[in-house]
Amino acid sequence: MRRTLRTQEEFKRVFDAGRYITKRNAVLSVLVLKQPDLRYGILVRRKVGNAVFRNKVRRQLREIFREGLQLMGWQGHFVLSVTRDFAELAYAEKKSYLCQIIQNATAKQA
C-alpha cells in the first residue's frame, strides 16, 4: 500500500521534529516513529525543470520508494527534496544514490 504525506501539516511535522540527512544533490528529512507506519513525501521544486520533467522525477522517486523502503523494513516518515543535478541522473543512478542516503539514515537510527 502506498502511503504518502499529503497535507502541509504532515510535511511540517517531519521538518520540525525530524532529522536531516544532506547529500550534495538531495536532502532527506526523517522522522522516526515507534509504531509501524511508513509514509513519504517528495519535493521537486520549480527550479528543477518544467512540469513534465518534475512529474517524471516524482514518478521515478515514488517507484524507488515503493521498491526499496518496504524491503528495508523502515518505519517513519520521510520527505525527500531533490536538486536539478539529482533529477538529471539516470534512473539506476537515482536508485543507488537514494539507497545510499537511506542507508545513512538507517545507520544513524540504530
- pLDDT tier at 108, thresholds 50, 70, 90: low
pLDDT recorded at residue 52: 97
* Cα–Cα distance measured from residue 50 to residue 66, given in angstroms and rounded to the nearest whole number: 24
Q: Which helix (H) or strand (E) holds 53?
A: helix 51-72
The mean pLDDT of 1-27, rounded to a whole number, is 88
Domains along the sequence of the chain with CATH: 8-104 (3.30.230.10)
Q: Which residue has the higher pLDDT, 37 or 42?
A: 42
Question: The pTM is what?
Answer: 0.84
Residue 102, class by beta-carbon neighbours within 10 Å (0-12 exposed, 13-18 middle, 19+ buried)?
buried
